Amino acid sequence: MGTRPRERGEIVLAAAIVMIVVQLVWKFDLVRRTYFRQDDFTFIARGLERELTWDYLMRVDYGHLMPGPFAVHWAMGRLGVYNDVLAHAITIGLQAAAGLALLWLLKLLFGARPAILVPLALYLLTPLTTSSLSWWAVVIETLPYQIALPMALGSQVLYARTGRFRHALATVAWAVLGMVFYVKAPFILVLAFLLTLGWLPRARRRPAWLLYLAVIAVYAAVFFRQLFTSVQLTNDTVRPALPDPAVAASFAWRLLSGSFVPAALGGPWRWHPITEDYALAATPPPLMWAALGVAAVAVAVSLAYRRRAWLAWLTLLAYFVLADVVPVMIGRVVQLGPDLGGMELRYVSSSAVVLAVVVGLAFIPVQGEERPWLRPPATPPLLRHAWIPLAAVVAAGSVWSVAAYTRLPLGEHVKSYVETGRLALQRAPARAVILDAHVPNRVVEPQFFYDYARVSKVLGPLAPERPGDPVRWARRLTGTLTNPLAFDTEGRLRPVEIQGLTIPQRGGCTPVSGRGVRFPLPLPMPHREWTVQIGYLNPAATRLAVELGGGLELVPAGKDFGWTFATVTGSGAEVTLRTVDGRTACVGEIKVGVPRPAEHGTPTPLQPVATTRH
């Protein structure tokens, strides 16, 4: 009889391990379909450009101090650049470690009883983390934090029970590890304090509290110094500002009611794709109100029976406001708007671990806790097991929501673009000149990432090394370029063509000397930057002055037949050409417009690289 509790505990732990493994297999089906997206390309490109220095690691990127992720991106760029297999392996490994860390914490808090399988299952199933798992930059921030948080709290439990200071040092070490990766990690030490205050009241460890406070103070000093001195992609520094109170309130309510609460109960059940590889929560209003009602009933039941359940829920609410709402409110809600920002589940993905712990504290007595109940929990069996159908509905909803997200194309088309570009660069001729235009918005959005959305930044690292014959990237076509190339929207290289207006060749060719010759355009050109392509057949090399509405560019024109390009900012109804050195050039067809990949030019490769979904 004495071994029965131990055997029961072993069965519970075995069941928990099986749940974690099954969850990994299930989530791998999502992870393997993902690819790098948006920020990922920028972070990897920055890592390739820089050494592993303090300035590189400690730059605050729009409110995120994340030396750990920057170090990982730096290494990733040197381990195959866009090595999605490695990224997937790291993701699953971190997810496994997070599940085991939470299991360890639940066992320490509540013992190896069957009840701990409920909060564990909640964490393993919740769609709160689904969209985050599809974005590498978010994975490498949030998953280490989801490991550090339960490990730090578990160390705090050991410190409170044993008084051994090495456990307090372990709590700090895990919290600091979290801080290296995620800006919300200082809240780990605050949660450790609240856990001790509410459920481990006999522990009075003032030296530890002073140590925790000192760590938070040092982190805050470093963070705010870096925040106000780090130069962003816009070449300026961050200027935090609070939004209008109505906007802030609307965002907080939308994030709570439309994202956090429904996702905690298996939602959002429906997704709103903003790109083909990412989606926001789109909870149907009836289901949103139903989720809020169920949450209210669950909270009320726990408050009626469980002592200090109020502190558990208050802790969750405070964490949601301070860690999830306030940073976004200060940094991005004005740009995103309260509706779009409130649908973004990645803002609350890190709360999944906190939610699991809070649910445990609100319903399960902590080991050694005195008088855990406000009234005897003995109820009729029908009521005592009323949570089972609710848990089944939540589990089914979670599976449905994750499956719905998995049906998106995810990284299929972006990976095809990148792999096609890799193959095109391998087949590009020696010393090829490639137009350094922006990649498609679905790969990297120029509005947010500026020059890091150019093909030289995204595809340039994939170009094979050719000593003496490197690929040349040209943002502006200028001079005598032989067969310049451009990437199309599928990642293939095509010849460049100037799309716009054409001035046909006049008979043979038109002599141009030191006196300007005017070439009328079929239509007036509005004011902007234009590319002028000029065909020539010259008896000797010369230099041409190309004018368009006040804009002037000097470009070479070689001997014999060829093309030269000039990029001019101006407007007007005619192009004026003259030679700078007084020699005579003979000019043929002139095109004025914008350089684009030729729609009817032969692409390299002939077909995009196919990336099938397995």
Question: Are 95 and 140 a contacting pair, CB within 8 Å?
Answer: no
State pLDDT tens for residues 265-324: 998 999 999 888 899 999 999 999 999 999 999 999 999 888 899 999 999 999 999 999
As given in the structure block, the two tokens for residue 143 are 């998953």
Confidence of residue 342 (pLDDT cuts 50, 70, 90): confident
Mean pLDDT of the chain, nearest integer = 90
Task: Of 443, 473, 452, give the one whose Cα is nearest residue 235.
Answer: 452
Give the span between the Cα atoms of 597 and 477, in whole angstroms: 13
Tens digits of residue pLDDT in 159-204: 998 889 999 999 999 999 999 999 999 999 999 999 998 898 766 6
Residue 277 confidence (pLDDT): 87
pLDDT tens digits for range 17-50: 999 999 999 999 999 999 999 999 999 999 999 9
Q: Which residue has the higher pLDDT, 514 or 455?
A: 455
pLDDT digits (tens, 9 = 90+) for 346-365: 999 999 999 999 999 999 99
Q: Tell me the sheet residues that pair with 473.
A: 434
Q: How many residues does the chain have?
A: 614
Token representation of residue 537: 């057949």
What's the predicted TM-score (pTM) here? 0.90
Tell whether the model's pLDDT for residue 1 goes beyond 50: no
The answer to whether the CB of 570 falls within 8 A of the CB of 530 is yes
Averaged pLDDT for residues 469-473: 85
What are the E-state strand segments in 236-385? Answer: 271-275, 278-281
Token pair listed for 104:
């360890």
Residue 391's alpha-carbon distances to 20, 46, 126, 412, in angstroms, are: 17, 45, 12, 34
What pLDDT, in 10s, does the model give residues 142-158? 999 999 999 999 999 99
pLDDT of residue 109: 95
What string of DSSP letters covers 58-121? T-EETTEE-HHHHHHHHHHHTTTSS-HHHHHHHHHHHHHHHHHHHHHHHHHHH-S-GGGHHHHH
Rounded mean pLDDT, 389-413: 91
Q: Poorest-confidence range of 89-93, 286-290, 329-333?
A: 329-333
CA distance 445 to 500: 25
Residues 6 or more apart whose Cβ sits within 8 Å of residue 606: none
Give the single-character DSSP code of 257: I
Cα separation, 5 vs 162, in Å, equals 23
pLDDT exceeds cutoff 90 at 372: no
Helices first, then strands: H and E counts in the chain: 24, 14
Residue 380 pLDDT greater than 70, yes or no: no
Average pLDDT on 63-77 reads 93
Please tell me the distance from the alpha carbon of residue 64 to that of residue 174, in angstroms, as a whole number: 19
User: What average pLDDT does range 476-487 have in this prediction?
Assistant: 91
pLDDT at 245: 82
For residue 335, the model assigns a pLDDT of 66
530 band by pLDDT with thresholds 50, 70 and 90:
very high
Residue with tokens 């740009």: 335
Q: What is the mean pLDDT of residues 487-512?
A: 90
Angle between helices 165-181 and 67-77 (to 10 degrees): 60
Q: How far is Cα 154 from Cα 88, in angstroms, rounded to an integer?
A: 28
